[in-house]
Amino acid sequence: MIENASRRHSGSETRQRSHLVQVRCTVEEHAQFQAAAERAGLSVGAYLRHQGIGATGPRAARRPPIERTLLAQLLGELGKCGSNVNQIARTLNTGGDEPPWLSRVMDEMHATAAAIRRAMGKAA
C-alpha cells in the first residue's frame, strides 16, 4: 500500500521521501527480513529498498555484520577462563588471603560476557 505522507514528520522541509510503502508480513517473514538485512549490514528499510530498486539510498550506512559464530566461540573461551579464575580463587582461599586483583578480574569477565550476549541479541 502506498500512501502520501501528508502528516507532519520531524526533519527537513525538503524531505524527498514523502511516500510510505507498508507491507504486512508474518513473524517468520519479518525475522527473515531482519536476518538478511543484518547479513548485508543494512537496516531493514535500506535492504528492502536495495532489493526492490537496486539502491540503498543516500544515507544508508553499512553496518559491519555481527559474527555470531565467532562471538559464541569467544563467549565459550571466556567461560573457560572464568572457570580457571574460580579454581585459582578456591585454591587461594584455602591457604590465605585473596589477591586484590581477583575480584576485579571476575567483574571484568562478567561485564565482557554480558556485552557479548547483548551483541548477539541475547539477554545479558
Contact (Cβ atoms closer than 8 angstroms) between residue 6 and residue 15: no
Higher pLDDT pick, 1 / 114: 114
pLDDT of residue 41: 77
Contact (Cβ atoms closer than 8 angstroms) between residue 27 and residue 41: no
Q: Measure Cα distances from 70 to 23, 50, 75, 120 in Å.
A: 34, 28, 9, 10
Between helices 44-53 and 27-40, what is the axis angle to 10°?
80
Contact (Cβ atoms closer than 8 angstroms) between residue 120 and residue 106: no
Model pTM? 0.39
User: What confidence tens digit (pLDDT) does each residue in 4-54 have?
Assistant: 545 555 555 556 777 888 889 899 999 998 888 888 778 888 888 888 887
